[in-house]
Structure 1
């Protein structure tokens, strides 16, 4: 484990405050993959300091899964506290800072259709995102369960997208437990 350049933030900073959003599921759209590739290039062209990796995560990364039409991208960096290595470059590339919290930053497009989650390479959250994505790509039963859960939850009004995300936690945890079992871990 490396030593960060400086202490990380200790609280959640939600730039712009809570946002009430109309959330709606869309059938899987093959254009989501090409949108991801466009942003992957945009990010890799912008962030030139240090080593980064870029992955398409979230429901739009799972063929056949209905999703909110928001592309989620996972970017790992060497040091999350060294924002000068990545944040200014992403802001210059047209993204806006939305979340700054311990071990995580989130930037997004002004139209809110792309969310870029930033973590350090060895952050446990990285493995968890990829575990869920890869399992949903390969397991039709859990993919259907996840989609049904999202449809049920989206039939309610949510004052904040984070509340909607939190409501999915139990199902996501159960799916990831099955994913670990399937991998023999």
Structure 2
């Protein structure tokens, strides 16, 4: 697998970015319920497996990959009770090629971010799944896979990340952007351990690290 660069903390999920990418009548930054951590649920893999079968059956060869990612993809890790799935398609900007096929499955487009890897995100009925749509060889998708696999095989870092998530949820239960900002340092530290480095030409690794106050 190609190793992508570390993400730029300056492009994290701010309230402004959420608002700019929001589609439809979804809320901006304020979650429908307080952010809480649920102990790892053995039902999460089954939910993913069922959705992967449905998505692949609907999209056929247009679904290049359907991957289980995020905290619910790491056995033993507490998470928000919502499964994250990465769907890789030939061109996320070509929405007519996949959205009309996903809609009968209950998925509705809720985020459109052309400037960020052409990312789209669909929610299913009940919002138990975030379906992230990316293109082939996308840096962010590769980071998702590397982060997931690292946590699966490094229990100490899994514990560190779980503690960071619990602190973030306790401190910022009513702001998605603030909750995510509180986790950034832990995420970047783990990705750095997994071998990711700043983009070529940036000699100051510290520039990609948010201050501890975040």
TM-score (norm 2): 0.75
What do you get for the CA RMSD once the two structures are aligned? 1.7
Check conservation: 1:49, 1:86, Cα contact below 8 A.
no
State the partner residue of 2:20: 12
Aligned-pair CA distance for 1:12? 3.4
Which 4+ residue blocks in structure 1 deviate beyond 3 angstroms?
157-160
Aligned-pair CA distance for 1:91? 1.4
Aligned-pair CA distance for 1:167? 2.3
Aligned-pair CA distance for 1:93? 1.3
Give 5+ residue unaligned stretches, structure 2: 1-18, 197-214
Distance across 1 between alignment mates of 2:167 and 2:112: 30
Distance across 2 between alignment mates of 1:174 and 1:88: 39
Report the 3-state secondary structure (helix = DSSP H, G, I; strand = E; otherwise coil) of the residue aligned with 1:54. strand
Q: What number of residue pairs does the alignment pair up? A: 171
Question: For 1:27-72, what per-residue CA distance to the aligned partner results, in whole angstroms no more than 9, with x for missing partners?
Answer: 1111100011011111112223634200000011000111111100
The counterpart of 1:67, out of the listed 47, 57, 79, is 79
Check conservation: 1:49, 1:85, Cα contact below 8 A.
no
State the partner residue of 2:40: 28
State the partner residue of 1:110: 125
State the partner residue of 2:185: 170
Q: Which is helix-richer, 1 or 2?
A: 2
